[in-house]
């Protein structure tokens, strides 16, 4: 049975900065668990507290049911893959991998056998006697993983282990990590700022923002039902719509009043009553776009607007549609040969529609998070203005 | 063309080495094979007399004392400098600059004055002796001054800043994630220090050793001031031959010996370096 990790009301401050604010969540034993967040959100601090390099100001951390909060790093059943790999420069690859077993005073023949096993797992038997400075980035990364895994830790901690590699290698290493996880079957705690990385490999993700766990759950839960505007905007792309509940009508559906829009229908799982302020998140790929008026459907929201921007990406196109004071981002997947179809162009009058189930009402909304949504600028130079404004808001 | 330009750029440093190091050294060593004149100049023709004095028993005693005094000075300096430089590198940057300044400040005052200050510190009527006698650590008759121990103390004091500088510069570049990595793999702090820190720092430790060894080997003011009659070093004999005896050939011969004593470890270290560079790249 693989070891679980439990964060129980963990808080940590560094001077004026709160790195972790009452963090509580559980990492299931044997899972590939990611802590995802922008830089400076405190995710590395959480990992360092599991490894034992930092101790929480308050709260407890349990590994496999054992309270490890005060345990020094060399007595914890975890091993870490560092962002900088931290391979010992004066030791060969083989000696690097053997380091932990030597410290544990294991039998030399056992060490040799285990190191050989690891070398074959990472496919580096041929270069076992090279030194870290002679290895490529990807090789160093695998060496760091092997050096940690050879000790058979209960939990493997990975601190942005592939962020130093270039894009193609990063994608390959990510899949390799997943393979290694399947092979060894222990708990992986993976720290990253890259949401695509986290989505691709994780069983579960905790989204961390300013020291607070915004939401934890399976990747598709986070994507489909984000609790906060931060999660909605940080994971994937979205449209934010603000409005009020006008009527709570048939079944669980409610009519929403949004400025410049006709009444919008939405699934009201939050049981809000008329007059309440709501923030709706609608993913761009859930919105359909067409030149002709679509057939009527009771649960569809159907709106008319003008195409303001078209970004063609090959497999899909992103349209920006102006409806009154709003700009809606809409992505259209191209599953047919595009040259046979009349394309949607700039200034075209179009119809956009989405199913009432596809708009999701957020529990928490913060206007700053709209800056995370990728949108073309309104005028030249406005990018700088927006960035400056975002920075100022962040400072306040 | 590029080659030529490179040559042109390195020419000044080559010229400097040639005119201010290589040629003067050759002149000094050449004098070792001349014969001294009573007036302080040299006689025409060549002679091995000065070289032969190097093999006299008293020279060998002197050479051996120079070697062990310098060796122990180097070792003690490194032993002090390693933990000090590590502590400095781990301090916050503002404190690092202050600590560095504290180490450099004594170097701004006159060398001679500082050694005379030591004479006061170790004086038979001085407070150090008084305190040691008071606590019963030494007898009242035990001399602190004018012996090998005094030379050692002052040499360590004078030259260990030279060990701090290379060690500190290497320690501040040291990747302290390696400490975390080693402890993560189960090592204790002490074990990490000996199996990771010292091996990685070894080249800097060697450099620090040379930085102390070279000025220590040439020391003659320190044994002159705080040493006794029986604690002369090679530097003293060279100074005496030049300044008092006006015997340049013998002074040159002793210089040749001193150079050789330093040359051996310097070459060994340099060869070891080359082998390491080949090994890691």
The two three-digit tokens of residue A279, written as one number: 């923030």
Q: Which residues of B touch A106 (CB under 8 A)?
A: none
Nearest-by-CA chain A residue for B186: A74
> What is the interface size between A and B, counted as CB pairs within 8 Å?
66
Q: Is A51's CB within 8 Å of B180's CB? A: yes
Q: Is A131's CB within 8 Å of B183's CB? A: no
SS3 A282: strand
Q: Is A100's CB within 8 Å of B185's CB? A: yes
The two three-digit tokens of residue A130, written as one number: 């090279």
A101 near A151, Cβ under 8 Å? yes
Looking at the DSSP bridge assignments, the partners of residue A191 are A35, A159
Q: Which residues of A touch B190 (CB under 8 A)?
A: none
Q: What is the pLDDT of residue A155?
A: 95
Q: B11-50 pLDDT, tens per residue?
A: 999 999 999 999 999 999 999 998 888 787 888 888 888 8
Fold entry, domain A237-395: OB fold (Dihydrolipoamide Acetyltransferase, E2P) (2.40.50)
- Smallest CA-to-CA distance from A97 within A52, A38, A140 is with A140
Helices then strands, counting H and E runs in chain A, come out as: 9, 20
The Cα A188–Cα A158 span in angstroms is 7
Total residue count of chain A as it appears in this document: 396
Place of tokens 């459907």: A297
More confident residue, A98 or B276: A98
Q: Is A134's CB within 8 Å of B200's CB? A: no
Nearest-by-CA chain A residue for B177: A86
Which domains are delineated in chain B?
Answer: 53-274 (1.10.3720.10)
**Chain centroid offset of residue A219 CA:** 8
B36 near B238, Cβ under 8 Å? no
Q: Which residues of B touch A161 (CB under 8 A)?
A: none
More confident residue, B171 or B277: B171
User: Sheet of A5-14: strands edge to edge?
Assistant: A17-27, A5-14, A58-63, A66-67
Nearest-by-CA chain B residue for A80: B184
The nearest CA of chain B is from the CA of A75 a distance in Å of 6
Q: Which of B181, B191, B192 is best to mutate for the A interface (most A CBs within 10 A)?
A: B181
CATH classification of A5-229 is 3.40.50.300, yes or no? yes
**Chain centroid offset of residue A383 CA:** 24
Q: B66-123 pLDDT, tens per residue?
A: 999 999 999 999 999 999 999 999 999 999 999 999 998 988 889 999 999 998 888 8
Residue ranges, chain A, pLDDT below 70 = 1, 249-251, 377-396
The Cα A190–Cα A50 span in angstroms is 12
Domain ranges of chain A: 5-229, 237-395
The nearest CA of chain A is from the CA of B180 a distance in Å of 7
The Cα A278–Cα A267 span in angstroms is 12
- Smallest CA-to-CA distance from B218 within B160, B155, B162 is with B155
In a 10 Å sphere around its CB, with 0-12 CB exposed, 13-18 middle and 19+ buried, how is residue A197 labelled? buried
Which own/partner contact pairs does B64-68 have at CB distance under 8 Å and 24+ positions apart?
B65/B148, B65/B231, B65/B232, B65/B233, B66/B217, B66/B233, B66/B234, B66/B235, B66/B258, B66/B261, B67/B261
A203 near A340, Cβ under 8 Å? no
In whole angstroms, how large is the CA radius of gyration of chain A? 25
Q: B221-240 pLDDT, tens per residue?
A: 899 888 887 788 999 999 99
Average pLDDT, chain B: 90
Q: Is B280's CB within 8 Å of A73's CB? A: no
Q: What is the pLDDT of residue A81?
A: 94
Does the pLDDT at position B209 exceed 70?
yes
A336 near A290, Cβ under 8 Å? no
The Cα B71–Cα A271 span in angstroms is 84
Q: Which of B184, B202, B275 is best to mutate for the A interface (most A CBs within 10 A)?
A: B184
Q: Is B184's CB within 8 Å of A88's CB? A: no
Query: What is the value of ipTM here, to two decimals?
Result: 0.80
B180 and A CB contact within 8 Å: yes
Neighbours of A152 (CB within 10 A): 13
B199 and A CB contact within 8 Å: yes
Does the pLDDT at position B191 exceed 90?
yes
**Residues contacting residue A322 through CB under 8 Å, at least 6 positions apart:** A305, A306, A307, A308
B273 and A CB contact within 8 Å: no
Q: B138-187 pLDDT, tens per residue?
A: 888 888 888 888 999 999 999 999 999 999 999 999 999 999 999 999 99
Helices then strands, counting H and E runs in chain B, come out as: 14, 2
Q: What percent of chain B has pLDDT over 90?
A: 57
Q: Would you say the C-alpha torsion B62, B67, B68, B72 has a positive or negative sign?
A: positive
Of the candidates A53, A75, A89, which has its C-beta nearest B180's C-beta? A53
The Cα A216–Cα A235 span in angstroms is 12
Q: Is A79's CB within 8 Å of B191's CB? A: no
Of the candidates B178, B184, B279, which has its C-beta nearest A73's C-beta? B184
The nearest CA of chain B is from the CA of A79 a distance in Å of 6
Neighbours of A84 (CB within 10 A): 15
């Amino acid at each position: 049975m693989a070891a679980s990790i439990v964060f129980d009301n963990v808080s940590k401050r560094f001077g004026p900065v709160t790195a972790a604010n009452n963090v509580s969540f559980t990492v299931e034993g044997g899972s590939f668990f990611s802590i995802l967040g922008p830089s400076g959100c405190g995710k590395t601090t959480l990992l360092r507290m599991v490894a034992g390099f930092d101790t929480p100001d308050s709260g407890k951390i349990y590994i496999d049911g054992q309270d490890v909060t005060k345990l020094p790093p060399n007595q914890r059943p975890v091993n870490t893959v560092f962002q900088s790999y931290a391979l010992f420069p004066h030791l060969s690859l083989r000696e690097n991998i053997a380091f932990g077993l030597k410290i544990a005073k294991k039998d030399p023949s056992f060490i040799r056998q285990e190191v050989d096993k690891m070398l074959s797992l990472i496919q580096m038997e041929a270069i076992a006697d090279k030194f870290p400075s002679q290895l490529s980035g990807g090789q160093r990364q695998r060496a760091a993983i092997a050096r940690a895994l050879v000790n058979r830790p209960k939990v493997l901690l990975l601190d942005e282990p592939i962020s130093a590699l270039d894009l193609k290698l990063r994608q390959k290493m990510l899949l390799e990590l997943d393979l290694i996880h399947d092979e060894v079957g222990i708990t992986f705690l993976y720290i990253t700022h890259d949401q695509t990385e986290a989505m691709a490999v994780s069983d579960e993700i905790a989204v961390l923002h300013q020291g607070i766990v915004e939401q934890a759950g399976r990747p598709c839960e986070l994507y489909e039902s984000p609790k906060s505007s931060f999660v909605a905007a940080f994971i994937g792309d979205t449209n934010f719509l603000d409005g009020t509940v006008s009527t709570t009508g048939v079944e669980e559906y409610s009519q929403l009043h949004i400025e410049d829009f006709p009444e919008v229908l939405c699934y009201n799982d939050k049981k809000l009553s008329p007059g309440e302020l709501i923030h709706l998140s609608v993913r761009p790929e859930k919105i359909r776009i067409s030149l002709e008026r679509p057939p009527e459907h009771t649960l569809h929201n159907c709106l008319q607007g003008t195409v303001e921007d078209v970004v063609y990406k090959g497999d899909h196109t992103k349209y920006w549609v102006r409806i009154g004071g709003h700009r809606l981002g809409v992505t259209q997947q191209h599953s047919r040969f595009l040259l046979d179809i009349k394309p949607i162009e700039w200034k075209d009058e179009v119809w956009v529609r989405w199913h009432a189930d596809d708009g999701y009402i957020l529990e928490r909304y913060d206007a700053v998070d709209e800056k995370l949504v990728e949108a073309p600028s309104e005028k030249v130079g406005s990018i700088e203005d927006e960035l400056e404004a975002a920075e100022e808001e962040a400072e306040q | 063309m590029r080659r030529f330009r490179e040559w042109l750029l390195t020419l000044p440093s080559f010229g400097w080495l040639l005119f201010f190091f290589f040629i003067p050294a050759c002149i000094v060593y050449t004098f070792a094979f001349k014969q001294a004149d009573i007036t302080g100049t040299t006689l025409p023709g060549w002679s091995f007399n000065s070289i032969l004095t190097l093999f006299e028993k008293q020279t060998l005693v002197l050479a051996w004392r120079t070697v062990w005094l310098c060796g122990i000075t180097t070792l003690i300096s490194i032993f002090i400098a390693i933990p000090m430089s590590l502590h400095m590198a781990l301090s916050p940057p503002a404190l690092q600059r202050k600590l560095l300044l504290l180490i450099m400040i004594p170097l701004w005052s006159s060398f001679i004055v500082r050694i005379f200050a030591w004479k006061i510190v170790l004086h038979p009527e001085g407070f150090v002796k008084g305190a040691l006698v008071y606590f019963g650590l030494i007898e009242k008759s035990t001399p602190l001054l004018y012996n090998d121990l005094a030379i050692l103390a002052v040499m360590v004091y004078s030259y260990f800043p030279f060990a701090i500088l290379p060690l500190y510069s290497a320690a501040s570049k040291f990747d302290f994630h390696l400490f975390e990595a080693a402890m993560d793999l189960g090592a204790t702090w002490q074990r990490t220090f000996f199996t990771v820190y010292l091996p990685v720092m070894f080249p800097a430790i060697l450099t620090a050793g040379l930085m102390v060894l070279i000025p220590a080997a040439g020391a003659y003011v320190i044994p002159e001031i705080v040493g006794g009659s029986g604690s002369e070093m090679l530097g003293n004999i060279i100074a005496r031959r030049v300044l008092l005896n006006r015997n340049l050939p013998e002074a040159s011969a002793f210089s040749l010996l001193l150079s050789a004593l330093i040359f051996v470890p310097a070459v060994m270290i340099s060869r070891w370096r080359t082998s390491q560079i080949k090994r890691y790249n």
